[in-house]
Structure 1
Amino acid sequence: MKRNIKAGLDLGTTKVCAVISEHTDSGVNILGFGVAPSEGLHRGLVANIAKTAEAIREAMSIASNRAGFNVKELTVGVAGEHITSLRHRNYVTISSPEKEIVKEDLDRLRADVKTIRIPSDKQILHIIPEEYFVDYQGGIENPIGIYGSRLEAVNHVVLASVPAIQNIRKSVERAGFTATELVLQPIASSVSVLDENEKDLGVVLIDIGGGTTDVAVFHNKTIKYTKVIGVAGNQVTNDIRETLGIVTSDAEQIKKQYGYATEDAVIRNEDIYLKGVGARGNIKIPITLLTQIISIRMRELFSLVDNELRHAGFKSKIKAGVVLTGGGSLLQGCTELAEEVFGMPARMGVPLELGSGLSKEIGSPEFATVAGLIRGMPGSSEEQNFIKIKQRKFRSPFNLIAIIKQIHEFFDKL
């Protein structure tokens, strides 16, 4: 049986998310969804292959049980501070007598980019064309069918650490699966939470995870800038833990339950009571104090992103504002703080255009990446989404075709 099935795997610092989906004419249907605690990654990098593989197996087992079948091929998200990017401009000549640009010319252009010199410990993760030029005329989105003698492109090239990619693939393989496609996490998130008008006007996507914060800038419908910053939700939790002298689990709990990113968002000032550890008595924590701790780190994070955008020259090109997503963005008042720091409108990014099935379970900002992974890399062939699936159903022990063949052979000998 062959169906249009896509499976995505988001390897996070705090959790591993797996989704199995079916793509139909009416949309994307979520067939299976699983989450498992992640203890084998640190800031987006695999720190323990065995623990990472176990988390992958657990998340995929839950998703497969819900879907009713197994998949072996996964689209896996990639993040971490090892990610870098550059812009590269190259060209090829059109040698055919007709001078009509065909797909093979685009393939040659892409192959030429792969020959650029990069550090020996880096590999090309993505080559994303920003703009095409035909005979020096720019502004072309798709040059196929256009006549000319010179095809040129400006490309956004994403680089990743070779060992980091090898560790991801090894973890997936040890779990019993194959990583058929690797996608940068902010690109995956953008597929699920941004609309085309935002990408056209200019928008910055900030995906706040547990270990890293992923940043992507889009303008004129193409990606222009990517950055991974090593400040995220776990740093906020650690600040609460160190300042208040409480265990990590309690710090994470009160962050999620009572956390505000800015004091202006606090509705009512009340006290939080935590059970003491050992000889220490119960602890009383004012929400205003908790908010101050959180706000300092979140403001630092947004200021870092703002400085990166200014330094890269993209701040002035962002007209549609800021879109926040990821589990770290769920803090109350996060959009208000972003508007204050960036000086532009901000909204929460939730997965868009999900169809039936278990779609409601991943309709939260913390699942933006995995919701984008099941859609694949923008521009990839739809045929790549087809995966042969193994149904969990009763199978007859008799091979009907073999039996019929034996009967024919018996009568032929008569």
Structure 2
Amino acid sequence: MANTGMYVGLDIGTTSVKVIVAEYVDRQMNIIGVGNAKSEGINRGIVVDIDKTVQAIQRAIGQAEEKAGIKIRQVSVGVPANLLEVENCQGMIAVSGDSKEITDEDVRNVASAALVRSVPPERQIIAIQPQEFTVDGFEGIKDPRGMIGVRLEMFGLLFTGPKTIVHNIRKCVEKAGLIVGEMVITPLALTETILSDGEKDFGTIVIDIGGGQTTTAVMHDKQLKFTHVNQEGGEFITKDISTVLNTSFNNAEALKINYGDAFPARTSASEEFPVDVIGKSEPVKIDERYLSEIIEARLEQIFNKSKEVLDEIDALELPGGIVLTGGAASIPGIVELAQEVFDVNVKLYVPNHMGLRNPVFTNVISIVDYSANLSEVYQLAKSAVTGEKVTQSQATVNYQPEVAHETSFEATEEFSVPEEENEAEGIVGKVKGFFSSIFE
């Protein structure tokens, strides 16, 4: 059940920065503001120029503030899956207090016990997610507070990431004049939000094809089991079109949007359109089939890289199949191509919010929805990581709207420069040993 209140999600993507302002009333999300600004200062999923990133955040925040009629002070910000590691954790304590009734402090203490481990100096703990508690041998407890017991155990998942990535994201948000309420692992929010209970339980793969990178995430047994990042995305398709057809990047982007199709069998070799070619005074006629083959080649490469890592952990055997989302997933024919490559059931996820029915907004909407549904137990466990005493969701902000009005939004996307080559291949080897038995 979502916590009532106002939430702001911030997605610092490689191609654009997106902001969503949402109000939750009676479990319903009402989006009242959105911002979308061209992303600068981001390369290969990480911040490489703090000042430019701050400016992009401020532009997106300004748009959202204007449309929502509020002043934004606190946000839930997404953390990408670059070099993310997931591992099991477990803690056990003796219940304090003479009454032996389990309190908030006991939950914090058992979470702290689960964090007692050696973390390399270049990495840091991003989040701890309690899965279940055991009280005096009784298992499957989601919230032990108020129960009587002598021994309390917690089983959960621990998420760690490169200290540089986490620090730079927080630095940019704070330098933009905002408070970080939650740092949300984007693929975790994505899988928790867009999948049904059955898909989470039996196992499903989510492939998020962004502008600058593609993230593959595996959800099984209602847990995020595995992530992989490929530093190729929608902008690489645009770059291929630009190179092959010898046209400008902007023209190539327009061709992809207006005429692009990922499945050549659906296109016609007789349907032609003009292309402004560099060095020629008159436009050159190009047919749909040729453009589609350019798009297909890059997407096949992206999908095959995901397939390689998924085959190593037998994830394609999971009954939930694959869910595609992200900005580049809106290319027509992409579902048919993915089915051909992966040979499993594939479907496209598109948000169902008025004005935002475009997969480019899936991540930021998921960040907001995930933050709104965080439990008090999660917040107590989180305080063991941060050292803060948390009594309510820090992602909730009680804004006083300056203007009350209805707003409609256009689902547009802005792009930045293409990314470099893949640097995340090594993650498979790191986590394969841990997850090798999961999908047997």
8 A Cα contact 1:89 1:152, kept in partner: no
**1:262 to partner: Cα distance:** 2.1
Change (3 A) 1:149 1:222: farther
The answer to whether the aligner puts 1:344 opposite 2:317 as a matched pair is: no
Seq. identity, %: 33
Which amino acid in 2 is paired with 1:45? I
What residue is the counterpart of 1:379 in the other structure?
A: 374
For the residue of structure 1 that corresponds to 2:18, the secondary structure is strand
What residue is the counterpart of 1:230 in the other structure?
A: 231
Change (3 A) 1:145 1:300: farther
What residue is the counterpart of 1:251 in the other structure?
A: 252
What residue is the counterpart of 2:122 in the other structure?
A: 121
**1:265 to partner: Cα distance:** 3.2
What residue is the counterpart of 1:61 in the other structure?
A: 62
Which amino acid in 1 is paired with 2:241? I
**1:62 to partner: Cα distance:** 1.2
8 A Cα contact 1:45 1:80, kept in partner: no
Structure 2 distance, partners of 1:39, 1:361, is 25
For the residue of structure 1 that corresponds to 2:118, the secondary structure is coil
Which amino acid in 1 is paired with 2:178? F
**1:235 to partner: Cα distance:** 1.8
Deviates more, 1:143-152 or 1:287-296: 143-152
Structure 2 distance, partners of 1:221, 1:302, is 24
Structure 2 distance, partners of 1:238, 1:125, is 34
**1:170 to partner: Cα distance:** 2.1
Change (3 A) 1:342 1:145: farther
The Cα RMSD (Å) is: 2.7
Which amino acid in 1 is paired with 2:397? I
8 A Cα contact 2:75 2:395, kept in partner: no
8 A Cα contact 2:92 2:152, kept in partner: yes
Change (3 A) 1:329 1:38: same
Aligned residues: 383
Equivalent residues in 2 for 1:398-413, closer than 5 Å: none
What residue is the counterpart of 2:7 in the other structure?
A: 6
Change (3 A) 1:153 1:269: farther
Structure 1 distance, partners of 2:26, 2:364, is 21
Equivalent residues in 2 for 1:165-176, closer than 5 Å: 165-176=166-177
Structure with the bigger percentage of strand = 1
For the residue of structure 1 that corresponds to 2:278, the secondary structure is coil
What residue is the counterpart of 2:51 in the other structure?
A: 50
**1:37 to partner: Cα distance:** 1.2
Which amino acid in 2 is paired with 1:376? Y
What residue is the counterpart of 1:398 in the other structure?
A: none
Change (3 A) 1:79 1:333: same
8 A Cα contact 2:22 2:368, kept in partner: yes
Structure 2 distance, partners of 1:340, 1:172, is 41
Structure 2 distance, partners of 1:8, 1:137, is 37
What residue is the counterpart of 1:87 in the other structure?
A: 87
**1:314 to partner: Cα distance:** 3.0
Structure 2 distance, partners of 1:73, 1:325, is 27
8 A Cα contact 1:94 1:101, kept in partner: no
What residue is the counterpart of 1:329 in the other structure?
A: 329
1:344-368 CA deviation, whole Å, 9 max, x = no partner? 111111235xxxxxx4122321101
What residue is the counterpart of 1:37 in the other structure?
A: 38
TM-score by length of 1: 0.83
Change (3 A) 1:94 1:39: same
Deviates more, 1:318-327 or 1:37-46: 37-46
Give the unaligned 5+ runs of structure 1.
353-358, 394-414
**1:238 to partner: Cα distance:** 1.8
Which amino acid in 2 is paired with 1:164? I
Structure 1 distance, partners of 2:344, 2:338, is 8
Give the unaligned 5+ runs of structure 2.
377-391, 404-440
Change (3 A) 1:275 1:245: closer
Which amino acid in 2 is paired with 1:225? F
**1:150 to partner: Cα distance:** 5.4
Change (3 A) 1:135 1:284: farther
TM-score by length of 2: 0.79
Equivalent residues in 2 for 1:256-335, closer than 5 Å: 256-266=257-267, 269-279=270-280, 281-316=282-317, 318-335=318-335
Structure 2 distance, partners of 1:155, 1:285, is 55
**1:8 to partner: Cα distance:** 0.8
8 A Cα contact 2:207 2:214, kept in partner: yes
8 A Cα contact 1:185 1:214, kept in partner: no
**1:389 to partner: Cα distance:** 2.4
**1:65 to partner: Cα distance:** 0.9
8 A Cα contact 2:128 2:158, kept in partner: yes
Equivalent residues in 2 for 1:80-229, closer than 5 Å: 81=82, 83-95=83-95, 103-130=104-131, 151-229=152-230
The answer to whether the aligner puts 1:362 opposite 2:366 as a matched pair is: no
Deviates more, 1:381-390 or 1:147-156: 147-156
What residue is the counterpart of 1:355 in the other structure?
A: none
8 A Cα contact 2:41 2:49, kept in partner: yes
Structure 2 distance, partners of 1:145, 1:267, is 67
Change (3 A) 1:392 1:17: same
Which amino acid in 2 is paired with 1:347? K
For the residue of structure 2 that corresponds to 1:64, the secondary structure is helix
Which amino acid in 2 is paired with 1:5? M
